[in-house]
Amino acid sequence: MFVANGLNGFPVLNFGLQSGEGNTKTLTVPDADNLDGGPGISIFLVLKRNEMLADFAAIIQKRDITGGDATKQAWDLEMDAGSNPNKFQFVVARDLFLKNSQIINTDKYYIVNVNYQGALQTASFINDGDIESTNFYNRPIQATNATLILGGFQPMNVAEAILVNSDMNMAQIKLVTNYLAAKYDLTLKAGDVISDFPYKNDLIGIGKDRNITNTADDVHLFSSGGGIELKAATIADAGDYVFAGHNGNAITENTTTKQWSRTYYLKNIGDVTNITLGFDFEKAGLTTVPDNTYKLLYKSTESGSWTDLSLTPVYDAGRKVLTYTLSTFQDGYYTISKLMSTGIRNFSKSTELSVYPNPATDKLVVNIKSQYKGKLVYNIVDLQGRIIVNANLEKGSEAISEFINLDMLAPGTYMLEVIQDSEKEVKMFLKN
pLDDT in tens, 172-197: 999 999 999 999 999 999 878 887 78
Domain boundaries, the chain: 2-183, 207-337, 348-431
Looking at the chain, the whole-number percentage of residues with pLDDT higher than 70 is: 95
Confidence of residue 31 (pLDDT cuts 50, 70, 90): confident
CATH class for the domain made up of 207-337: mainly beta
What is the rounded CA–CA span in Å between residue 376 and residue 53?
A: 76
Strand bridging mode 423-431 / 345-346: parallel
Topology adopted by domain 348-431: Immunoglobulin-like (2.60.40)
Q: Identify which of 231, 216, 212, 382 has the alpha carbon closest to the alpha carbon of residue 307.
A: 382
Q: pLDDT by residue (tens digit) across 338-389?
A: 986 544 455 665 678 889 999 999 999 999 988 888 888 888 988 766 778 8
What is the rounded CA–CA span in Å between residue 255 and residue 34?
A: 43
Average pLDDT over residues 404-422: 86
Confidence of residue 232 (pLDDT cuts 50, 70, 90): very high
What is the rounded CA–CA span in Å between residue 311 and residue 371?
A: 22
What is the rounded CA–CA span in Å between residue 76 and residue 89?
A: 8
**pTM assigned to the model:** 0.78
Q: At residue 243, what is the residue type? A: F
**Whether the bond into 290 is cis, omega within 30 of 0:** no
Is the model more confident about 375 or about 12? 12
Q: Identify which of 216, 233, 237 has the alpha carbon closest to the alpha carbon of residue 117.
A: 216
Say what the pLDDT of residue 366 is.
93
Whether the predicted pLDDT of 151 surpasses 50: yes
Burial readout 94-111 (b: 16 or more C-beta within 10 A, e: otherwise): eebebebeeebeeeebbb
Query: H/E/C letters for each residue in the chain?
Result: CEEEEEECCEEEEECCCCCCCCCCCEEEECCCHHHCCCCCEEEEEEEEECCCCCCCCEEEEEECCCCCCHHHEEEEEEEECCCCCCEEEEEECCCEEEECCCCCCCCCCEEEEEEEECCCCEEEEEECCEEEEEEECCCCCCCCCCCEEEECCCCEEEEEEEEECCCCCHHHHHHHHHHHHHHHCCCCCCCCCCCCCCCCEEEEEEEEEECCCCCCEEEECEEEECCEEEEECCCCCCCCEEEEEECCCCCCECCCCCCECCCEEEEEECCCCCEEEEEECCCCCCCCCCCCCCEEEEECCCCCCCEECCCCCEEECCCCEEEEEECCCCCEEEEEECCCCCCCEECCCCCEEEEECCCECCEEEEEEECCCCEEEEEEEEECCCCEEEEEEEEECCCEEEEEEECCCCCCEEEEEEEEECCEEEEEEEEEC
Most confident of 245-249, 255-259, 337-341: 245-249
Query: Which CA distances in Å does 383 have to 67, 303, 359, 415, 429?
Result: 63, 13, 16, 8, 11
Say what the pLDDT of residue 248 is.
93
Say what the pLDDT of residue 221 is.
98
Please state, rounded to an integer, the average pLDDT across all residues of the chain: 90
Q: Identify which of 326, 322, 298, 292 has the alpha carbon closest to the alpha carbon of residue 229.
A: 322
Average pLDDT over residues 167-171: 96
Average pLDDT over residues 132-148: 92
Looking at the chain, the whole-number percentage of residues with pLDDT higher than 90 is: 61
Say what the pLDDT of residue 343 is.
45
On whether the 2-183 domain is CATH 1.10.1060.10, my answer is no
Whether the predicted pLDDT of 21 surpasses 70: no
Whether the predicted pLDDT of 241 surpasses 70: yes
Say what the pLDDT of residue 223 is.
98
How far is C-alpha 354 from the geometric centre of its chain's CA atoms? Answer: 32
Say what the pLDDT of residue 334 is.
97
Four-residue CA torsion sign, 347, 351, 357, 360? negative
Max Cα distance, the chain (Å): 90
Identical fold, 2-183 and 207-337: no
What is the rounded CA–CA span in Å between residue 85 and residue 87?
A: 6
Q: pLDDT by residue (tens digit) across 287-322?
A: 999 988 899 999 888 888 888 888 899 999 999 999
Q: What angle do CA 278, 283, 286 make, to 5 degrees?
A: 95
Burial readout 231-245 (b: 16 or more C-beta within 10 A, e: otherwise): bbeebeebbbbbbbb
